[in-house]
Amino acid sequence: MTPFTSLTGIAAPMPLVNIDTDMIIPKQFLKTIQRSGLGKNLFDEMRYTQDGAEIPGFVLNQPAYRHAEILIAGDNFGCGSSREHAPWALLDFGIRCVISTSFADIFYNNCFKNGILPIVLPQEVVDVLMADAQKGANARVTVDLAAQTVTTSDGQSFAFDVDSHRKHCLLNGLDDIGLTLEKSAAIDSYETKAAMTRPWV
C-alpha cells in the first residue's frame, strides 16, 4: 500500500449528500476482484450517458477536476452496501483523500485499508473547503496527515482527528497483510517452537 504522508492537490467539490457505494461504483462493475481498472467507471451513472458519452456538467468531467486527488463531499458519504470496490474505484481514479461531515462506517474503514484518508470535519469547515474547491485547478488543498491539518489554497488551516493506529498504518503504507508481516519474526518463532513441541500437528 502506498504511504500517505502529505498531499497537495486539486480538490473536487461534490456537495451531494448520501452518495452511496452504488453511485460510487455501480453493481455491474463488481465482477472483478482486481483493484485496478475501476477508476474509469467511478461515478459511472453520473459521469456518462447510457451510450457512453461524458456528461459535461459532472465535476470530474470538467477540465479543472480531471486530475483531482481530493474529494470534498456532502454528508453521509459511502452509505449503502459494503462493497470494497468503492474505495478501489476512488483510488484507481486518483482520489487519495475524501473530506465530509460523516461517512458510513464500513466505507470509512475500507478507505483506511486501501490507502485513502477519510477526514471528518464540521459542516462549517467543509463549507469553507467546498467553496475553496469551487475555485478550480489553481486552488490546491494540502492535507498533512502527520500534522493532522487541512489547509486551503489561501492558507486557512483546520485540524482533524484520526485514530493513532490508522494514522500509523497510512503513514507507513501498512494494510492488514503489511501489519501481519511486521510480526513475521515472532510468527516464525512460534511456528518453529510449535513444530518442536507438537510434531504430530
Residues of the chain with pLDDT under 70: 176-184, 186, 188, 192, 194, 201
How high does pLDDT run on average in the chain? 92
Residues whose CB falls within 8 Å of the CB of residue 34, separated by 6 or more in sequence, listed in order = none
pLDDT at position 188 is 67
Residue 1 lies in a domain: no
Q: Strand 117-120 and strand 140-144: pairing?
A: unpaired
pLDDT at position 173 is 93
The two most distant CA atoms of the chain are separated, in Å, by: 68
Print the domain residue range for 100.
6-197
Residue 32 lies in a domain: yes
pLDDT at position 179 is 64
Total number of domains in the chain? 1
Q: What is the CATH number of the domain that holds 51?
A: 3.20.19.10
